[in-house]
Structures are given as C-alpha cells and as structure tokens.
Structure 1
Amino acid sequence: MSISAAFFAQAQDVSVIRNTVEAYSSTPMIGTAKFNAMAGSNGALGGDANSLLTNPAGLGVAISGEVSGTLSISGNKNSSSMAGSTLNYSKTRGDLGNAGGIIAFPLMSETGWKFINIGINFSNQSLDNVIQSPGNSNIIYDFDIADPTKGASMAGHSYERYGNLSKMSFGVGANYNHNLYIGAGLNFFNATIDQYDTLGYRNLMNNSVELFSKQDTPYSERSSGFSASVGVIGKLSPNFRLGASLETPTFWSIDRNYNFYNDPNYGDDIGAENRKFTSPLKATVSAAFVASKNFSLNVDYTLGLTKPDYKVYGSAERELNDFFKDNYKNLSEVRVGAEYRVKQFRLRGGYAYQSSPFDALTISRFNDAGVAGDQSYSNLMLSDRNTASLGIGYDFKSFYVDASYQNITSKYSNPFMRGYMGDNFDTSYYSAKNIAQSDSYAVSDVKSTRNNFFLTVGWKF
C-alpha cells in the first residue's frame, strides 16, 4: 500500500507519526530491576506494585507490604547509514526509573477473601532519540536555476526528540482463598516532547552548509492522559496460573507550540494548538509456572485491539486517521521471564519481541545515485523490536537489592527531506534566506541499540 502524496503533504512531518506510536500509543514499561530483568513479564505472577504495569490483579498476590525505588541509566545509540557513509549518535542518561509500594490488609473474616491490597506505582522513561543521517552529494538542489553558484548537494539531516514519558498508577487487588485474584487500576500519564527536523545543504561552489527547518518545526508538546485497567489471575493448580487484563485507551490532551515560516499574514512566528488523541485499547493474557519457591516462569502476550485515533479538527487529523486506518498493524508483544533462587540470591532473565507497527509502505525516494523512484519498505519509520535482559539480586530478609541489564535493538528505514508547497499547505524546509522543496524522500538505514542498567533498593514490612 502506498503513502498518498496528499497525506504527507499535510501531516506536518514523519516525526508526528513516529511520536504517535512511540510516545502516545505505548505504555511505560520501566519497572524495578527484577521486573526489567524478566523483560516486563509478570502478568500471572504479580506480588508487587509493578503489577500495575501489566495486570492489576497481581496486587492481590502480595501477603506483605513493600516499597522500592529504582535508578535507571539509559544508553541510546543510533547508527544511520546512507550512500556509503554512516553517522553515529549516542547518549547516556540517568534518572529515577521507577518507584512504588504496596500495602497488604489481611481480612480477619470467615469468608474466602484473604487480603485487600492497595498499590501505587510510578514509571518514568526517556523519550530522547536523535537520528543523524549523512549526506549524499548526488542529490542536488538548484535554489536558482539561472545562477549555478547557488546549487547545493544534500549535506545531511537530523531528527531530534528530547523528552520524558511517565505513568502514575493507583490500584487495588483482592485475594480470594489464595486461588483467585482480581484487581483494578487508574493510570495517569504525562509526556514532554521537544522535536526538531533539520536539513542541511552544501553549496557546490564554496562548500558552506546552510541549515533548514521543516515547516511547523521545531515544536514542543506538553501532554497528559489517563486510562483504566482491570485484571484477573487464577490458579489452575498449585504450580500453574493464568492471567488476563484489559487496559482502556489512553485519552490524551496534547498542547503544542510550533514555529512556522513564510505565512502571508504573520511571516515567521510561533503558533499554538491543542489536539485530542486516543491510543489503542490493549489486552494481555498471561501464564505462569511456579515449580517451587525457587523457580518461576511467566509468559505475557499483549495485543492492541484498536488503532490510534485523533479527534478531527481539520484535514491534518483526518489524514492522520486515514493513514493509521490503512497502514497501522495492531501492535503485539510477547514477553518471557524467569527467576531462579539460590538461598538469598536471585538470578533472572527475560526476552521480549514487539512486532512492527506498519504494513509495507511504498514511497518515492532518491537512491544513492540521486535518482528518484518508487521503493517499497517493510520497516519504514519504525520496525519490530527485540529485548534481551538479565539480572541478579540479594534478599536481606527485610531489605533487598536488585540489579539488571537490558539490550533493546531494532532496525528501520528513516525517510526525510520531502516537503513542498501546495494549494492549501506548505511542508517545505526553510532557512534564513532560502526555501528547499522536494517531491521525493531521502532514506537512511538506522540501527538502534539501547543498553539500560537498573538498580533497585526495596524494603518489606
């Protein structure tokens, strides 16, 4: 299926689509070092506040209180290649990744209800992502056909995103006869995004580089949203458990400030707008095997049941919705995690796979020789993602310390540079002196690698 020219002409930028999926349609999954070491797989195990990230029924599994805090150190590296050249960008950042607690209330009654537990969990992750693509001297742009001294080659491009995504959850879980657990939670989201889209052209005569910003960029978004979740866990036997949970769409309110250029009335200035966005409804099914107190294994499968949807205020939101309706695949993820205990020591490992969010897409792009033509991509803008993790821990009875490591990789094709003026829209690139337009994209190949480290300190009471 091809991307219509009208869509990308009026949808502002590729970054809008990427952020819709990565920032506003995903759920923060940064938990404790234990949770992260098991690749976020705990939907049928539960027992701590991180249950609010997967299945709130897991709150009911706890039989004692607990609080913990987690330091996260995130390392992000992008390698972007095109026309035989590669640019690398890397950044390491430390932050509070997770904090949470659970209070267990034993019920002194003769009914089968054993505990009512209350949990709170805060999850926080960086949205920083910089993709710096090299230039291609074969892609030539004539700013003035009559003046050859103003010809320039494409010198490079950068998508820069800086920000955070956080999720604060409150929930309650109940334990019926140590065989059935139910729970519910409320989730409150906050996101900050500062996005840049910068294109460079190198003058063919003097090699000077001129930088251009895409129309309506840079932009800043400050957003908030909320969702609710419900879940259940049941024991089929002392060793086997099944779980299921449902999280409503996240209902976002997005406030944006953006730079615009060459407006017939205002010239170059700053605009503001508000958007309403609804993320996909998500369902998770889980299974766990608890061989003994020394070994446990959990598998989670999460599926998006609906598609991203913007409230329509005009043509831009309408065409965004049309794009997601035609090209978005319901996102799915499988997570597997295990824990083995040797006295007070804990050994953990996990793996997760998330599918690509888009069908194959066909666009007009420049090849390495600078010739424009149609090309189909199975991984345009985003692709599938693999996560491998491991961790260790030590239990001091009342206190515990856990550490873990995650490696997250993905490869995708990164389109940029396309933009032009139409009858009712303008997506060109602007510098202080010139305007750059293109009917076709340049495309770089990106390998993304994230190396994350986590350290958790907790107290049981």
Structure 2
Amino acid sequence: MNKKLLYGFILSSIVLIGKSQTSRFYPNDVFDAFNIFGDNSNNTSGTARYIGMGGSMGALGGDLSAVETNPAGLGIFRNSVANISMSVLSNKNKATMGNGVNSNTDTNFNIPGAGVALALGDESDMFKVNVGVNFSYQRVDNDVNFSRNTQLNYLYPNKDKVDQMYEMVNYDQYTNGYKSKMKFSLATNYMDRLYFGIGLDWHYLNIDRNSEYGHRNTMDGEYMRFNEQLTPYSQEANGFGLNVGVIGKITPEIRLGAAYHSPIWWSDMEDYRWIYGYNDKGQFVKDYVYYDHYKNVSPGKLVLSGAFASNIMDDDNSLAFNFDFINYFNKDMEFKGDVDYRLNNNFVNDYVRNSQEYRAGIEYRFKELKLRAGYAYASSPVKNNSIAGIWDTDANPVYVKNYLVGEKNKLSFGAGYDIGQFFVDLGYQYMKTDYRTTLSGDFYTMDGSNLTISLDKPYFGKVNNIQNNFILTLGMRF
C-alpha cells in the first residue's frame, strides 16, 4: 500500500478516534508538553546553592542559576566566577490502577549547570557591564509501570479465535532521553543600586517514548503485548526563548526584582512514529512514519521577587532571605502542525489554566561556612474536576484533579565552604507530586491484533512521584 495513502488513512482514523473521545486529545503529547518541553517548575537544574535555597534567588542574584530566574542577577557579580555542577537524580514512581500497585526507580547523572560570569569594569565605575554563559544537561527518563489489575478483565479472542477471559497484566509508559540548554546573558549595574539584564536561551530535546499494554488469558496463561497507536515514537527538537529582568536596591539590605520569560518556541521538530491500521482489503498494515511539520509553544512566565540580605553582627556573619512568586502563562501553550497534533489544543482550551509557584529560601553565613534551606510549592496547571472517566472507586463517570500534571512540593537543604578563591557547595532537593494518567485508545500487536480500551470513558491510574536530587558544585572566583 502506498505510504502516503496509508498515512492519510490512519491519520483520518486518529482524528475520528480523537473526536470520539471525551477528551479529544492525545495524552502522551500533552504530558510531554508540560513535563519535558516546558521550562517550568519540574526543572531540577541549578547550582547547589540555588537548589539549596529552594530555587529562590530572583532578587538576590549573584549566582549563575539565579540568572536563570532573573537575568538582572548577573549584574550583581562583583568578581568573575566559573563553576560546574554535577547531580545524581533518583526518580521513583508508585503507580496504582484498580487493585494493582507497582513501584520502580530511575537514577540518572546530570550536569545541571556549567558556566562562567565575567564581571567587567572596575569597582569604582558608576556603570558596569557583566556577561555570562551557562550550559545545562538534564536526563528526562521516566518509567510509569502499572502492574497486574484483576479488576480490568474482558472477553477477547485467543489464538484460536475463541473468546476467552483476559485480564490486564501491565501498562507501561516509558520515556528515555535528555534536554539541554545554552544561555547567554548580559547585565548592567548602575551604582550598585539598579540592575538590568537580558538572556537568550537555546534549547535542544531528544526523547524516545513508548506506551505498552499487556494482558493474559486467565485460562491458559497466553500473554499478548500491544503498542498504543502512534507509539513507539522518537522526537528531536530545537527551541528558543528570551527573558528580561530588573532588580533594584530599595535600601542596602532590601532588594526587589521582576522578570519576564517568553514562551519557548520549539521548531525543527523531527518526529518518527509507528502507525497501525487496516487497508480497504482488511489487511493489517504498519509503518514507521516521519513527521516534520510539528511545532510547539511552551508557556512563558512572570517572576516577582523580594530579598533581604544583611550582616547580623559583623562581616563574619550574614543572613539572606529570598521569596519568589512565579506565574506561568500556561494558556499560551500551543500545538502547531499536522491536524492530529493540533487536536491537543482542545485540551489547552478546555482544561488548562495559569499556575503559580511560590519559592522561599534562606542562607546563613558564618565566616567561610554557609548553610541553606528552601521550600517551593507549585499548583497544577490543569483545572480540577475536569476529565471524565472511570476507575478507582466505581464504574460510574467520575472527575479527577491533577490530571497529567500534579501539584508539586519541594524541600531543600544545602551547605557551602570557601577555600580562598575556590568554593564547594552541596545541595539536596526532595520533590513530591501526585497526578492521574489514563489508559485508553487503540492498541495493536505487531502481527495485527487490535484492542480498543475505553475510548469514551478512559480508565484512570494514580501516580505518586518522588524525586531525590543531590548536587555538587565546584567553583572559582577570579
């Protein structure tokens, strides 16, 4: 069968399936848009100091990762600094659907930041300019594996085409890949009282994703494995964003800051997906299809910050506190390109709202020793009571909160020590979120068996996600 005809046939089928669903979108794409493409509250990148203070340094500045929050913070550097951060991230998912419970953990090594800030000009200059560059690399591996669920059973034809009872054995949603960002920043310092900054960000993303379902014959134990329509798939994309910010010293101890981050405009997206279907003769056909017309717009954000920084008794003791309020403009999210990909805009229009994040951090310094702590909370960008479906309590339609993206709570601690012009920082971050995902759609084996699961009333599973992030930063002032 001609590939273009095959593509057109299956694409039309996907559109019809999407319109027949209550949700009228493709959950995998929406999940990726929020949790991978977005540069939002799920980010675990940053220096150990930044993470140790809960990511709350928008008005304090003076840190390469604080520049990610407000580029004006680059102007606060009085000395040039170079540092590199390394982290180990443990990502644990506990997945529950019906009476099935399963836990699994991924552990990855990341480079949450490597960069340099150049403080130009003399201390006596009324007007100074600083420049900075920072690179980060972050794994996005995530495995959500729902185990055997005896409450989900149904009649299905066995290998002899005789209907027998099958039950769910597993449903695995797996992502493997990474994203990276290169940031160039420029900031000015006017009389050490007023700071302006601008940053330009270049993003790169490379992921592989699969949704796999398995059921077993309760009589003879026959196991069948299915791939969800349009999986496995691979995506590669480049993105660009910019941000501007200002920080002002109200008094020598009190600072206020504001920054705006544009959406991330993703383009040059290369997408390879398996598609399955039947031709006009009833023959099963499958192919690995290349898409090249996708584009994605991730949310922008507004950051408002306040900070207090002062010596307590003398130059050997100091205390700093920072608070950030972040508003994510999630309604700016947009899926562009082929008609099947644009279906996801239905989800944005119907269910997405702006979300907020609150971050607070404190740092105490005694001579060369620094101690830090922080906390952050982010609300869900998805409206509560929004997605109709069935499961966990009964077989009637129910409504859920935290669909695909849940509220996030983050607690962090850190310590640092100066050794002459060198410094070493350690940070720890604990992040917890609960969210719901769905089991629905068309599933196929590679030899043509087909299973449709609850298109009108998708089954829900609950995911409890816990991340433990350990960061080491080594740096030098010069």
TM-score normalized by structure 2?
A: 0.88
Q: What residue is the counterpart of 2:305 in the other structure? A: 286
Of 259, 263, 269, 1:245 maps to 259
Once the 2 structures are TM-superposed, how far is the Cα of residue 363 of structure 1 from its aligned partner?
2.0
Q: Indicate conservation of the 8 Å contact 1:386/1:410, yes or no.
A: yes
**Structure 1 82/60 Cα, relative in aligned 2: closer, same or farther at 3 Å?**
same
CA distance in 2, matches of 1:445, 1:10: 18
1:273 and 2:310 equivalent? no
The 5-angstrom pairing of residues 43-192 of structure 1 reads 43-106=58-121, 112-113=126-127, 115-144=128-157, 148=162, 150-192=164-206
1:447 and 2:464 equivalent? yes
Once the 2 structures are TM-superposed, how far is the Cα of residue 49 of structure 1 from its aligned partner?
2.1
Once the 2 structures are TM-superposed, how far is the Cα of residue 447 of structure 1 from its aligned partner?
0.9
Q: Indicate conservation of the 8 Å contact 1:215/1:430, yes or no.
A: no
1:207-236: CA deviation from partner (whole Å, max 9, x where unpaired): 232110001101010111001111000011
Identity %: 31
**Structure 1 235/435 Cα, relative in aligned 2: closer, same or farther at 3 Å?**
same
Give the letter aligned to residue 290 of structure 1.
Answer: A
Q: Secondary structure at the match of 1:117?
A: strand
Once the 2 structures are TM-superposed, how far is the Cα of residue 105 of structure 1 from its aligned partner?
0.7
1:35 and 2:42 equivalent? no
1:348-381: CA deviation from partner (whole Å, max 9, x where unpaired): 111111111101223222446xx74311001222
CA distance in 2, matches of 1:108, 1:66: 16
Once the 2 structures are TM-superposed, how far is the Cα of residue 408 of structure 1 from its aligned partner?
0.5
CA distance in 2, matches of 1:196, 1:24: 17
Q: Secondary structure at the match of 2:107?
A: strand
CA distance in 2, matches of 1:308, 1:87: 35
1:334 and 2:353 equivalent? no
Give the letter aligned to residue 184 of structure 1.
Answer: I
User: RMSD across aligned C-alpha pairs, in angstroms?
Assistant: 2.2
Q: Indicate conservation of the 8 Å contact 1:29/1:123, yes or no.
A: no
CA distance in 2, matches of 1:321, 1:166: 26
Give the letter aligned to residue 382 of structure 1.
Answer: V
Q: Secondary structure at the match of 1:40?
A: coil
TM-score normalized by structure 1?
A: 0.91
Extract unaligned runs of 5+ from structure 2. Answer: 1-16, 312-316
Give the letter aligned to residue 291 of structure 1.
Answer: S
1:403 and 2:403 equivalent? no
Q: What residue is the counterpart of 1:424 in the other structure? A: none
**Structure 1 431/364 Cα, relative in aligned 2: closer, same or farther at 3 Å?**
farther
**Structure 1 66/263 Cα, relative in aligned 2: closer, same or farther at 3 Å?**
farther
CA distance in 1, matches of 2:20, 2:181: 32
CA distance in 2, matches of 1:391, 1:108: 30
Of 232, 240, 250, 1:236 maps to 250
The 5-angstrom pairing of residues 214-229 of structure 1 reads 214-229=228-243
Q: What residue is the counterpart of 2:3 in the other structure? A: none
Once the 2 structures are TM-superposed, how far is the Cα of residue 314 of structure 1 from its aligned partner?
4.2
Q: Indicate conservation of the 8 Å contact 2:211/2:231, yes or no.
A: yes
Once the 2 structures are TM-superposed, how far is the Cα of residue 306 of structure 1 from its aligned partner?
4.9
1:364 and 2:389 equivalent? yes
Once the 2 structures are TM-superposed, how far is the Cα of residue 165 of structure 1 from its aligned partner?
1.8
Q: Indicate conservation of the 8 Å contact 1:48/1:101, yes or no.
A: no
Q: What residue is the counterpart of 2:5 in the other structure? A: none
Once the 2 structures are TM-superposed, how far is the Cα of residue 438 of structure 1 from its aligned partner?
2.0
Q: Indicate conservation of the 8 Å contact 2:47/2:64, yes or no.
A: no
CA distance in 1, matches of 2:18, 2:360: 41
Q: Indicate conservation of the 8 Å contact 1:12/1:216, yes or no.
A: no
1:5-60: CA deviation from partner (whole Å, max 9, x where unpaired): 62758967422111111111224451111111111111101113223310000010
Q: Indicate conservation of the 8 Å contact 1:141/1:154, yes or no.
A: no
Of 210, 224, 232, 2:224 maps to 210
Q: Indicate conservation of the 8 Å contact 1:276/1:311, yes or no.
A: yes
**Structure 1 444/108 Cα, relative in aligned 2: closer, same or farther at 3 Å?**
closer
Once the 2 structures are TM-superposed, how far is the Cα of residue 334 of structure 1 from its aligned partner?
1.1
Q: What residue is the counterpart of 1:423 in the other structure? A: none
Give the letter aligned to residue 107 of structure 2.
Answer: T
CA distance in 1, matches of 2:44, 2:131: 20
CA distance in 2, matches of 1:32, 1:134: 37
1:404-438: CA deviation from partner (whole Å, max 9, x where unpaired): 1110001122211x11xxxxxxx444353511112
1:86-117: CA deviation from partner (whole Å, max 9, x where unpaired): 1111121113221011011115887x31x210
CA distance in 2, matches of 1:398, 1:107: 19
CA distance in 2, matches of 1:29, 1:247: 18
Once the 2 structures are TM-superposed, how far is the Cα of residue 318 of structure 1 from its aligned partner?
3.5
Extract unaligned runs of 5+ from structure 1. Answer: 420-426
Once the 2 structures are TM-superposed, how far is the Cα of residue 383 of structure 1 from its aligned partner?
0.7
Give the letter aligned to residue 88 of structure 1.
Answer: S
CA distance in 1, matches of 2:31, 2:96: 19
CA distance in 1, matches of 2:446, 2:98: 25
CA distance in 2, matches of 1:247, 1:108: 30
1:103-160: CA deviation from partner (whole Å, max 9, x where unpaired): 11115887x31x2100111122221111111222232232339955543111120100
Give the letter aligned to residue 370 of structure 2.
Answer: R
Q: Indicate conservation of the 8 Å contact 2:187/2:198, yes or no.
A: yes
1:271-297: CA deviation from partner (whole Å, max 9, x where unpaired): 011311111221101000112261100
Q: Indicate conservation of the 8 Å contact 1:144/1:150, yes or no.
A: yes
**Structure 1 122/161 Cα, relative in aligned 2: closer, same or farther at 3 Å?**
same
Q: Secondary structure at the match of 1:437?
A: strand
Q: Secondary structure at the match of 1:49?
A: coil
Q: What residue is the counterpart of 2:399 in the other structure? A: 376
Of 395, 410, 413, 1:390 maps to 413
The 5-angstrom pairing of residues 15-26 of structure 1 reads 15-26=28-39
Q: Secondary structure at the match of 1:294?
A: strand
CA distance in 2, matches of 1:225, 1:11: 27
CA distance in 1, matches of 2:63, 2:336: 40
Aligned length: 446
CA distance in 2, matches of 1:272, 1:9: 28
